[in-house]
Structure 1
Amino acid sequence: MDDTVKDGTTSQGDADHGSGESDRSEVDLSDAAARAKLHAELAEQIETHRGAYYRDDQPLVSDAEYDELSRRLEALEEQFPELVTDSSPTQTVGGSVDTSTFAPVEHIGRMYSLDNVFDFEELRAWHDRVRDAVSAKSKFLCELKIDGLAVNLLYRNGELVRAATRGDGRIGEDITANVRTIADIPQRLDTEFPPAEVEIRGEVFFPVEKFAELNAQLVAEGKPPFANPRNSAAGSLRQKDPAVTASRPLHMLVHGIAAWTPADDSHPEPAHQSEVYEQFRQWGLPISEYYKVLPTLDEIEEFISYYGDHRHDVTHEIDGIVVKIDDFAVQEALGYTSRAPRWATAYKYPPEEVTTKLLDIQVQVGRTGRVTPFAVMEPVTVAGSTVERATLHNGYEVKRKGVLIGDTVTLRKAGDVIPEVLGPVVAARDGSEREFVMPTHCPSCGTLLGEQKEGDKDVRCPNARSCPAQLANRVYYLASRAAFDIEALGEEAAVALTAPAEPETPPLTSEAFLFDLRPEDLAEVKIWRNKRVKGVETGERELVPYFYTRGTAKKPSAPSANTVKLFAELDKAKDQDLWRVLVALSIRHVGPTAARTLAAHFHSLAAIREASLEELSAVDGIGETIAQSIHDWFSVDWHEEIVDRWQEAGVRMEDEAGESAPQTLAGLTIVATGSLSTFTRDGIKEAILAAGGKAASSVSKKTDYVVAGENAGSKLEKAESLGVPVLDEEGFRNLLTTGSLD
């Protein structure tokens, strides 16, 4: 068919523009002139951001902010339809075409946008509208919404003859030479009977793991870095020199047909979108493996929920799920609005990327003395939490990312991952930004900073024993779940013990004396806190007791409930396993895995302390680096004091005979995925390690078993493709108990 536009006329990435904040002050909507002014302001902002996003590949703000801006305009036009014009952003698609760099080309089939829904209530409303218009037997194709750049591929008689950007939906930019450099895209379709002409739609994306490398290269060359991976894909494709595009690790996935002219009647086009995908596969085109044809709304919501929890298990970035009618005939019956198909919608997940202002870059000193710069930002909500700080790792990384104090930056927080500053929004700079300079002296104790060894990217404070920041962080760490597991000893309590506002000499000058503390030692400890009156902050600061209650005439000061709990947990911690004691010592490179190995081999801290470098290195899984670190740690006199004082206080320094768990998983590498009924995520890892196994996070040919619970995702799929044995929970328990599957 020449003219009939089939699925694929929408771009999966086309709803992601970057946006801006309009004036949120109250507007009198009863005043026609006021609402017309507001409409014009909103429309102007959207067009500005479309240009920055599509034409310049430098969005000024995040996708989520753009979505909010667009929804405000849509709501205004819905309330006052007389404001709608043909040129309104709600009636148009995409951005302008850069004719100064690329030749304009007209798409055979118009490329529409996608309407968005943001919760299940909106999805159900869309579903009800569709169901009212078509047969109840119609099924839906659900697929991941690729966060990339929309590209049209035109094949004539099987040969790739043109590739173009989306542009304004009718006219795009000719980027054929650049697209030919992408290895995923075949120059010729793998078929003896290709259509006479077919226009195929898809998304080009840039791997997230390669994004930082590209930005570092650009900064080193004195060029502006990209704000996020999506814009690095767009900027890489829209290069004058195809050799530049060829040097970038771009990939593409195709997802639809815009127009199809069969060579003859014996090879008609498919009748369903799902059939198109199988046709693409046979032709050698890259398609997503993550799609399903589903008949019911419940199944659609289940699909959306699953990938909401597993959106980082797939091979590319996604920001939602596209839901569309699978049957092309039904699509034609439903038709289009002025800008979007009625037969499809995009369910958008909560944003994991936002833009915010980088107010300052400060540094903090960790438990090993490493001085780490971190970003202080205007608070912003991302991935369900409010973020105002993010690590920048080291001074080298700050320069590598090309961020300046005062920049608008793109912030990313994926699920439970630590927030990360991706890069600056260079187009938003006004000249007031300034470069960050790493300090030369420790901000906590004033000691001259330096490299631990020549060529280190990190700088460290060498005053390990007395630096208040290092001591506080070591105390906080030894109380963590991986060590003594002292819940009542949190970060603020660690600071109160080691560097309180009062008294001048803290209760704890070394972790060696932790188990010697008595409640009365903490009676005078005070810290600064924001003053509150009836639960409301006054803006003033006051000194308050931390470990004791405030005394009154009727009720003298006494240890708080948390302090009572602290001492109970300290007493309990004395009987922890040897490997936990090893972790608590903060020996570099000795985490839970190495600590378990050492404890299982030597059975006592005295034996580890007396072991030679050769004996330590010979332990399977330890090696020279960890062995040298242990040897160096015990050669420091104040480190030995920690061990001696803890032992005198009653901390157990050896495992009892026969206490170690049977090593039923020794030598096995096991990956756990999905939800298990009797194990938490940390719990199954602990069980694997305790039984001598290796708890890996990714599946490879070296994986011995994969333990799969409910809603197991791509790890299960990869295990099946590699032929790795898969166990259910009962099978894993048998293996754990007996070392056998029988």
Structure 2
Amino acid sequence: MSTPAEVDADDLRYADPDNPYLVDPDTEFTPVKDFDADAAADEADLLRAAIREHDHRYYARSDPLIADRTYDALFARLEELEDAFDLAADDSPTRRVGGGTLDELGTVEHAAPMLSIDQSGEAEDVREFDRRVRRELARGGDGESAEVVDDVDYSCEPKFDGLSVEVVYEDGRYVQAATRGDGRTGDDVTEQVRTISSVPERLAGDPPATLAVRGEVFIPRDAFQEHNRERVEEGKEPFANPRNAAAGTLRQLDLDAVADRPLDCFFYDVLGWDADAGGPDHPDTHLAELDALRSFGLHVNDRAELAADIEAAIDYRDRLLAEREDLNYEIDGTVIKVNDRAACERLGTKSRSYRWAFAYKFPARHEVTTVEDIVVQVGRTGRLTPVALLDPVDVGGVTVSRATLHNPDEIASLGVNVGDEVRVKRAGDVIPQVAEVVESHSDTAYEFPGECPVCGSEVERDGPLAFCPNGLACPAQAERAVVHYASRGGLDIEGLGEESVEQLREAGLVETLPDLYRLSDRREELAELEGWGETSAGNLIREIESSTEPELAEFLAALGIHEVGAATARNLARHFGTFDAVRNASESELVEVDDIGETVARTVRDFFETEQNARVIDDLLQYVDPQADETDTGDALDGLTFVFTGSLSTSRSVAQDLVETHGANATSSVSGNTDYLVVGDSPGTSKREDADANDVPELDEAAFAGLLAERGIDWPPEAEE
């Protein structure tokens, strides 16, 4: 067998030069039925080696040897042989295709702390970093400081905008991967990272016996755009940016979903290098480390350079900034590291960061596009927010078609109007905003509407902000109010998310909050909605009915009063005790509550005095009876965490309040920290599934009462009287 003509034999890492699958095969595959077990095993070995080489050429070197369709054919051929002859291997490339679901993410301790890096966007801060480095390196053994050392050599490389991971190899084989986490421990994402084609299952060359490397998982910009296009075509919400997409993907428990995302990974640092059992010595410089990682077949970025002094490092950053838009991966700055490893060890670390590295950040991206329209959104609290609809523009690898204009004063300050060319930036490289008007095509700025675009109420102003005063009677506010009321920040009504509320409103079943409690009279209509049915309708109605006696603090938070979150709602409930007392409290009485000032007091008073809100609340109170706040009575349940589902002999909120008054936590969702899931009649399914996944014991109401009795607590609470 001769070396394929298209392949340089000295340039191969994973495959023998005589491997016929290094180039496009010019013959049909031998039918699997004509193989015996030994021949099939030999063929599979050739295919695995060739596929590893092709992965390395494609991902690490951007120099593919074969066409994509040929690669797919080789991969399918390997899968066919492994299935037919039971030849699956732990380090086979076919393991990258996902399959299966993990129960949870475990925790992994890192080989060495994965610390952060001090950073700034100012050149003078970079120079100060250099002065500190040279000053520290000049210190003698007695701690006395000389002036400074001469210029320090720095390695410079892109600062990738992805998710940092640690990957561990033993005897050249992939064994583990973990997220950065708190720097000492992270989530075990071994199986998720295994699906990334640029992360080799086997190292090439002569690696150390144990190698722990730090990398950055990311999604290439072109792959991100294509994947988002597919999501939109499938009716799914597109990802906001590549970093969020990569981070969310790595924490997925569904490995098929992970494998479906176009993840990649650059390796850029060594966390552990153990050559005691064989292999090369640890290189003396950071750039030599990168060369070594590259020789092992790891995907190393090709933009790293040596800078003879800090000014050369600053120049590197400026050059990379100018080339940023031509890169197929997101970066938000450059990382400058002392190149000499011995010097790095002398410099050491701080509690959270390395003393020998500094990130010189880029400014936020700016792009120019045209304002096609300006629309006003109505928020849950009635705030009106103008949004510019833009001619789609690529800003930092993300197609932006809308950007916030914040408020009427911001529009006036910018002087922006429909048809203007504007510069768009991504604040924090994430949130699109209009930064300035580049060329105006109108003599005036956009005139903010004087009426709510949804209900027509006259707009009210509070400084730079604009509000619709129609409260819960405004359809836009009402829809968002229902979503909030049912959310975990409200009464945690399962099965009533944003999409469900929108569907119920479109069907005319729910206009305002009280309509939720009238759904039981329209059960047949609910069941007939697309995607529902009798079971789903019944479950939702039971969930709603179980919320009729909420804890007062939860009810106040669920109403969505501006500036009244969970903490403020608890303070109000504890201070006044009943809903009527809160509702009728004067501003002077409200400011006596802990952490409530004049502004919040006025907001609460305005909410209850608004005629439209008052009508909705009066209607709502026909169905809902907020329970008075109770004083803590002990710590008999201290340290325990309960979650409740289904209907109990009294309301779930009473049960939650009872366990909390005795020192326990009552949360709305099951996690690994939950001690008991209390299951009443007609429970929902999601909490029980989560309990099963997290090995959380379930208690029916009788068992729950028994547990309380063991600690001297009566259930139900009325039995104490």
Higher normalized helix content (fraction of residues):
2
TM-score normalised to the size of structure 2?
0.41
Greater RCO (CA < 8 Å, at least 6 residues apart): 1
TM-score normalised to the size of structure 1?
0.40
